[in-house]
């Protein structure tokens, strides 16, 4: 049996992305996904924030059973005409099918699209599968829609479309250590570079460490810590329930589950401590 090819950038690997990948498996168990190391938007000098790091997105693709993932350097094919790009794909991978989303474009000035792929199917003897929009609650599922939910703090909707949890990952760094003085020690990480920013606030979370063999429930604060007013840069702090080991310098993954409340400034540490207790109670009840 020949190879099925899947084309797209696939940031986050949401429900619509899954539909495109699954369409390839309907033709062959041997699926190769061709994507890019970085967003093509960066090549054009645009700001771009990812839903997940490329590593985490690639990990999700692998879990879907894709045997081969090819990450192209967009700068090396940006000026390639659409038909030349198709030639390259055919001569390199010899696919019996090619699957894309309905809005996939490629080639210099985005001159290639689903119509181009369909037209060339007979010429190169491959079956083209164009996956139509996947809808939920009257909206087309897309990376842009998920980013909108995340920036609005609607983590539940974003996670539902991702069919997994939004992840913030980083190495634990030293903080001001104020949390431990009021009974809530925290592990701090810097917000991952180029990951879409969620609003400042308090979130229910889950922490994965030790190569994901262990996870713990936690509460996360992301923001400027206005009550203590001792930071010039926003920071992520997580208080991990029933945990007291040293994590400094270790990599942790924070799965963000739900926003509990927005960031607030309290009169003093006693008020902050009282609110944290309420926040933890709410986390445990959700």
Q: What is the pLDDT of residues 87-131, one digit of tens each?
A: 999 999 999 999 999 999 999 999 999 999 999 999 999 999 999
Q: What is the pLDDT of residues 42-71, one digit of tens each?
A: 998 888 999 999 999 999 999 999 989 999
Q: What is the pLDDT of residues 249-281, one digit of tens each?
A: 899 999 999 999 999 988 888 888 899 999 999
Q: Could you give phi then psi for residue 10, rounded to 5 degrees?
A: 60, 65
Entry pTM: 0.92
Residue 229 CB neighbour total at 10 angstroms: 8
Residues of the chain by 3-state class (helix, strand, coil), percent to 5: 30, 30, 40
Using alpha carbons only, what angle is made at residue 285 by residues 279 and 286, rounded to the nearest 5 degrees? 90
Domain 165-285 coded CATH 3.50.30.30: no
Q: What pLDDT is stored for residue 166 in this prediction?
A: 98
Q: What pLDDT is stored for residue 227 in this prediction?
A: 78
Architecture of the domain spanning 3-140: 3-Layer(aba) Sandwich (3.40)
Domain ranges of the chain: 3-140, 165-285
Decide which of 285 and 36 is more confident.
36
Q: What pLDDT band is residue 210 in, cutting at 50, 70 and 90?
A: low
Mean pLDDT to the nearest integer, 151-174:
95
């Amino acid at each position: 049996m020949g190879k099925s090819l899947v084309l797209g950038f696939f940031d986050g690997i949401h429900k619509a992305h899954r539909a495109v990948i699954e369409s390839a498996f309907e033709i062959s168990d041997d699926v190769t996904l061709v994507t890019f190391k970085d967003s093509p938007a960066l090549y054009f000098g645009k700001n771009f924030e990812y839903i997940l790091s490329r590593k985490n997105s690639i990990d999700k693709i692998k879990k879907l059973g894709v045997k081969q993932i090819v990450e192209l350097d967009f700068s090396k094919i940006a000026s390639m005409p659409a038909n030349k790009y198709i030639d390259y794909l055919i001569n390199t991978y010899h696919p019996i099918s090619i699957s894309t989303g309905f809005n996939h474009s490629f080639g210099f000035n985005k001159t290639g699209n689903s119509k181009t792929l369909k037209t060339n199917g007979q010429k190169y003897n491959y079956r083209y599968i164009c996956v139509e929009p996947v809808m939920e609650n009257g909206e087309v599922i897309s990376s842009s829609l998920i980013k909108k939910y995340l920036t609005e703090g609607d983590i539940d909707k974003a996670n539902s479309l991702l069919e997994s949890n939004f992840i913030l990952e980083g190495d634990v760094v030293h903080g001001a250590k104020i949390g431990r003085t009021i009974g809530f020690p925290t592990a701090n990480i810097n917000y991952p570079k180029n990951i879409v920013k969620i609003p400042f606030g308090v979130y229910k979370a889950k922490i994965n460490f030790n190569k994901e063999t262990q996870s713990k429930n936690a509460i996360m604060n992301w923001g400027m810590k206005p009550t203590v007013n001792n930071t010039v840069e926003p920071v992520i702090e997580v208080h991990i329930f029933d945990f007291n080991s040293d994590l400094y310098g270790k990599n942790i993954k924070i799965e963000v589950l739900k926003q509990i409340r927005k960031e607030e400034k309290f009169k003093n540490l006693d008020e902050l401590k009282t609110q944290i207790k309420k926040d933890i109670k709410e986390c445990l009840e959700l």
